[in-house]
């Protein structure tokens, strides 16, 4: 490339940069930031209409454990016993 052509290209680039520096980009910048901003997650509230008694929980645990034993799921029974050690008062 000739020196004269190179100088013309540099002059056009500088003129373009000066022209672009006079434009106010705040509106476009805000739109770009808004597009990429993380949206807050909506919190889901769960209402419990009935109070659950301790005996209901124990009964549910016992049904789960009994069904695991019935289907021969030995690992599942062990895991249920690990999760609920205080409810496991039966001796096998």
Q: What is the DSSP string of 33-82?
A: HHHHSPPPPPPPP----SPPPHHHHHHHHHHHHHHHHHTT-HHHHHHHHH
The overall pTM is greater than 0.75: no
Question: Is 68 within a domain?
Answer: yes
For 14-57, the pLDDT digits (tens) are 999 998 888 888 888 898 888 888 877 788 777 766 667 777 77
Domain that holds residue 83: 54-87
Question: Is 2 within a domain?
Answer: no
Q: At 49, list the tokens.
A: 């209409």
Question: Is 39 within a domain?
Answer: no
Question: Is 33 within a domain?
Answer: no
- What is the CB neighbour count within 10 angstroms for residue 17? 9
| First-to-final CA distance of the chain | 91
What domain count does the chain have? 1
Question: Is 14 within a domain?
Answer: no
């Amino acid at each position: 490339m000739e020196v004269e052509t190179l100088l013309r290209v540099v002059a056009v680039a500088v003129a373009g940069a000066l022209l672009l520096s006079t434009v106010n980009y705040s509106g476009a910048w805000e739109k770009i930031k808004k597009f990429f901003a993380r949206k807050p997650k909506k919190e889901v509230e769960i209402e419990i209409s009935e109070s659950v008694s301790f005996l209901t929980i124990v009964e549910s645990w016992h049904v789960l454990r009994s069904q695991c034993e019935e289907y021969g799921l030995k690992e599942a029974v062990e895991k249920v016993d690990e999760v609920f050690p205080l409810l496991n008062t039966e001796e096998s």
